[in-house]
Amino acid sequence: MNRKREKQRIIESFGVYDVPDEFRDLICLSIRSKNWNWFNDMDGCSFVPNYWKTKYFPPCLVHDHHWRTGRGGYWSDRIFLELMKIYGLPKWQRYFRFVMVRIGWFGFYKWKHAIRGNFRKFDTITKIIINKWKN
Q: Quick check: is 132 in a domain?
A: no
Please, what is the average pLDDT of the chain? 86
The verdict on residue 133 lying in a domain is: no
| Total domains in the fold of the chain | 1
Beta-carbon contacts of residue 87 (< 8 Å; ≥ 6 apart): 13, 17, 19, 51, 57, 58, 59
**Span 120-125, mean pLDDT?**
83
The larger pLDDT score, comparing residue 66 to residue 43, is at 66
DSSP classification of residue 74: H
Report yes or no on 134 lying in a domain: no
Percent of the chain with pLDDT over 90: 42
What's the pTM? 0.88
Q: Maximum CA pair distance of the chain?
A: 41
What is the residue range of 9's domain? 3-127
Asked if residue 8 is part of any domain, the answer here is: yes
Asked if residue 14 belongs to a domain, the reply is: yes
CB atoms within 10 A of CB 12: 10
- Inter-residue contact 50 to 60 (CB < 8 Å): yes
Average pLDDT over residues 108-135: 79
Q: Is residue 77 part of a domain?
A: yes
Residue % of the chain over a pLDDT of 70: 87
pLDDT at 113: 67
Whether residue 112 lies inside any domain: the answer is yes
Residue 87 CA from chain centroid, whole number = 12
Specify if 19 maps to a domain.
Answer: yes
